[in-house]
Structure 1
């Protein structure tokens, strides 16, 4: 089964495991999938939910890929990006108040 995220889904980057969980750092909102105009490569467009709320584009294959366990052996999150859990969403709710 192919992993996918619908626009509006909140996701967390695996580096959030090392971050202050009372902040919104490493949380992102999915904007949607796009296609590179020159190469046709599939991209994921997403927006940071912290700092200046920058927009990012990453190759879809990389976005959906697994965490590099050789480079990050202490990380337990299986994929580079995964859907945010209830604790993450509660942090976002508090940050918006």
Structure 2
């Protein structure tokens, strides 16, 4: 089963990158949410329901999407050899 990993970088299917800062719960509904930071522009902080963060891309709406899931975990290798 997929899950969002804290401290890891994810690529949105439209191409931008995001850092998962934390997981939390909505105070009204108890729904699990992801708190994530965009790694471009002003570096803003965002929140989205975990289920939506992990869902597959709607290929009928976005037929040219080049990844399966809305957000996909990235493997970022060290340039310094760490």
TM-score by length of 1: 0.75
Cα contact 2:55–2:69 (8 A) shared by 1: yes
Q: 2:20 aligns with which of 30, 51, 69?
A: 30
What's the offset of the Cα at 1:10?
0.4
What is the number of residues matched between the two proteins? 79
Q: 2:68 aligns with which of 66, 78, 85?
A: 78
Which has more helix, going by share of residues?
1
Unaligned runs of 5+ in 1: 17-25
Residue 62 of structure 2 is aligned to residue 63 of structure 1: no
Which string of whole-angstrom CA distances, capped at 9 and with x for unpartnered residues, describes residues 32-58 of structure 1? Answer: 211001110110110001000001100
Partner residue of 2:33?
43
Which has more strand, going by share of residues?
2
User: What is the CA–CA distance in structure 2 between the aligned matches of 1:75 and 1:84, rounded to whole Å?
Assistant: 17
Q: Structure 1 stretches (4+) deviating beyond 6 angstroms?
A: none
RMSD over aligned CA atoms reads 1.6
TM-score by length of 2: 0.87
